Structure 1
Amino acid sequence: MFIINCKNYEEISGDKISEFVKIAEKISRKYRLKIAIAPPQHLIGLVSNSKTPILAQHIDNSKVGSTTGYIIPELLKKSKVIGSLINHSEHRISSKDISKLVLKLRELKMISVVCVKDVAEAKKYLKLNPDYIAIEPPELIGSGKAVSNEKPEIIIKAVNAVKSANNNTKLLCGAGIVSGRDVSKALELGSEGILVASGIIKAKNWTKIIEEFAKAMKK
């Protein structure tokens, strides 16, 4: 799994999101690689009909109906969104909400990507059997310093935790990934995919950087 979190970067604003998704879709076909994109929430409608899998950046533990301003999983599914990030370090939520949201996405047959800051948190939420655990030390997010290089022991320990859990959860590696070399290192350490943001969104040439990451993943 190759997930690109667009956050709320200005580089992806307006119609630029459509251009970005088309580039990712083309590279996905070329390398036969699954690339999922999490656009800014208000831009989901512009790209939800594309062939590229679309994830939400966040969802709320709230109900369908009179819940103004909340991001509701049931409605996202009707907009062809396939799942969501949960508990990203920039949008942390309570353990109770994480548990309820993983269960809700499972009921809806949507993908859950639970973001964790360390191995202890990974072990805690592995008990929920989410589809993916994405480990991202907060201090490395957006730093340009990849966790796979700066703190490889975290990935190794997280990989072991996932194996010990003996469930269907897969591990993704995030934080500071900016090159194909970073991607290769993360996979060598046992990660089954990556979650990346600024390393791609802020690059001057989207096609070049996404292709670089894709080649690294295929190797």
Structure 2
Amino acid sequence: MIFVNFKSYKEATGENAVKLAIACETVSEQTKVQIIPVVQALDLWRIKQHVTIPIWLEHIDEKELGAQTGYTTIEAAIQAEAAGTILNHSEHPVTHEKLQETVERARKLDASFQIMLLSPDTNVLMRNKSLNPDYLCYEPPELIGSKTESVATTKADIIAEGEQMAGDIPLIVGAGIKSKEDVVASLRRDAKGVLVASGVVLTERPEEKLLELASAYKSY
């Protein structure tokens, strides 16, 4: 699995988001590797008009429908046909209490709506595991966006440790992932997939980069 976090990059906003999502779908169909765009809420419905692969949101809130302003509710996400969401990215941290409330509400509203909880270290990973998300992600914040290092090259032993800690919950890893070698190293440590962002979004040819990353699944 390859999750592509569009963030709020210009290269992944509006019509550019549509183009990138189409590239994700094209490569996924060619390689049979599941590639999931993780997008801004305002781009979700636009993208859904052009692709059939599952689309996730970058964040949702725990708030219920009602007199709330400026939040993305779970109900709105489900009705807009989002397939899931990531939560607790280091750029958008959420308290454990709010994570628990969000996960519990999502489970009650739509059991098929998937949630990945991100963790900057193994202590948070264990706390997040107690909420029983669909995926756990280990993403050390100091490596996010790195052009020279990645979680696979500098935290390989922790990936293996995290996979053991995650147990039956699939472990995804991210931070600095930008090459086939990064993906291979992650998979060899028993990660089930990777979360990428700038390593794909900011390249001149995102489709070619996705093909490179997806080819790792035939190599490891």
| TM-score interval for Structure 1 and Structure 2 normalised by the shorter chain | over 0.9
Task: Name the SS for the 2:93 alignment partner.
Answer: coil
2:114 counterpart of 1:111:
yes
The answer to whether the 8 Å contact 2:60/2:77 transfers is no
The answer to whether the 8 Å contact 2:64/2:73 transfers is yes
The answer to whether the 8 Å contact 1:31/1:218 transfers is no
Give the equivalent residue in structure 1 for 2:139. Answer: 136
Give the equivalent residue in structure 1 for 2:70. Answer: 69
Tell me the alpha carbon deviations over residues 173-219 of structure 1, each in whole angstroms, 9 at most, x when there is no partner. 10000101100100001100111111000011011100001111243
2:158 counterpart of 1:154:
yes
State the shift of 1:48 in Å. Answer: 2.4
Give the equivalent residue in structure 2 for 1:26. Answer: 26
| Structure 1 unpaired stretches of 5+ | none
> Number of residues paired by the alignment?
215
Aligned equivalent of 1:120, options 123, 126, 129: 123
The answer to whether the 8 Å contact 1:6/1:39 transfers is yes
CA distance in 2: counterparts of 1:218 and 1:83, whole angstroms:
27
* Deviation >6 Å, runs of 4+: none
Q: What's the C-alpha RMSD, in Å, of the aligned pairs?
A: 1.2
**Quick one: which amino acid aligns to residue 128 of structure 1?**
L
Give the equivalent residue in structure 2 for 1:198. Answer: 198
Give the equivalent residue in structure 1 for 2:186. Answer: 186
Give the equivalent residue in structure 2 for 1:35. Answer: 35
State the shift of 1:14 in Å. Answer: 2.3
Query: TM-score, normalized by length of structure 1?
Result: 0.94
Give the equivalent residue in structure 2 for 1:60. Answer: 61
The answer to whether the 8 Å contact 1:14/1:43 transfers is yes
The answer to whether the 8 Å contact 2:10/2:16 transfers is no
After TM superposition, the structure 1 = structure 2 runs for residues 68-87 of structure 1, keeping only pairs within 5 Å, are 68-87=69-88
Task: Name the SS for the 1:58 alignment partner.
Answer: coil
CA distance in 2: counterparts of 1:218 and 1:78, whole angstroms:
36
CA distance in 1: counterparts of 2:117 and 2:48, whole angstroms:
21
Task: Name the SS for the 1:113 alignment partner.
Answer: strand
**Quick one: which amino acid aligns to residue 129 of structure 1?**
N
State the shift of 1:104 in Å. Answer: 2.2
- Quick one: percent identity of the two aligned structures? 30
Query: TM-score, normalized by length of structure 2?
Result: 0.94
The answer to whether the 8 Å contact 1:2/1:193 transfers is yes
CA distance in 1: counterparts of 2:193 and 2:146, whole angstroms:
19
2:215 counterpart of 1:215:
yes
The answer to whether the 8 Å contact 1:135/1:171 transfers is yes
Tell me the alpha carbon deviations over residues 66-104 of structure 1, each in whole angstroms, 9 at most, x when there is no partner. 222101111111111011001111000111001111222
Tell me the alpha carbon deviations over residues 119-164 of structure 1, each in whole angstroms, 9 at most, x when there is no partner. 111111111111001100000001131111111121111011112x
CA distance in 1: counterparts of 2:218 and 2:9, whole angstroms:
28
After TM superposition, the structure 1 = structure 2 runs for residues 81-96 of structure 1, keeping only pairs within 5 Å, are 81-96=82-97
Task: Name the SS for the 2:92 alignment partner.
Answer: coil
| Structure 2 unpaired stretches of 5+ | none
The answer to whether the 8 Å contact 1:61/1:100 transfers is yes
CA distance in 1: counterparts of 2:160 and 2:166, whole angstroms:
10
